[in-house]
Amino acid sequence: MIAREQYEKLARHLQGDGRARIEMTFEEVARIIGGELPPSAFDYPAWWGSDPKHTQAVWLDVGYLARPDLKGRRVTFLRAQP
């Protein structure tokens, strides 16, 4: 199981990049966090949702929303409008 601290690596990556739209493969996300994504990340769009109670939803902390493409195994992080 991936700890929140590992997901925070993704938050730092997104914040450091800073672009309004950041596209990544699931493999790239796994590399950044230093561990495999859980099966639910590949099967359920809700895993990438905007519920701040979800441990992995660190992208919300740095102002992004996640839009997954489960078939393509990609995710687009979009900067949320203020």
Using only the alpha carbons of the chain, give its radius of gyration. Answer: 11
Measured CA to CA, the distance from residue 82 to residue 37 in angstroms comes to 29
pLDDT digit string, tens, across residues 17-48? 999 999 999 999 999 999 999 999 999 999 99
Give pTM, 2 decimals. 0.91
CB burial string 34-48: b at 16+ within 10 A, e below = eeebeeebeeeeebb
Residue 53: pLDDT above 90?
no
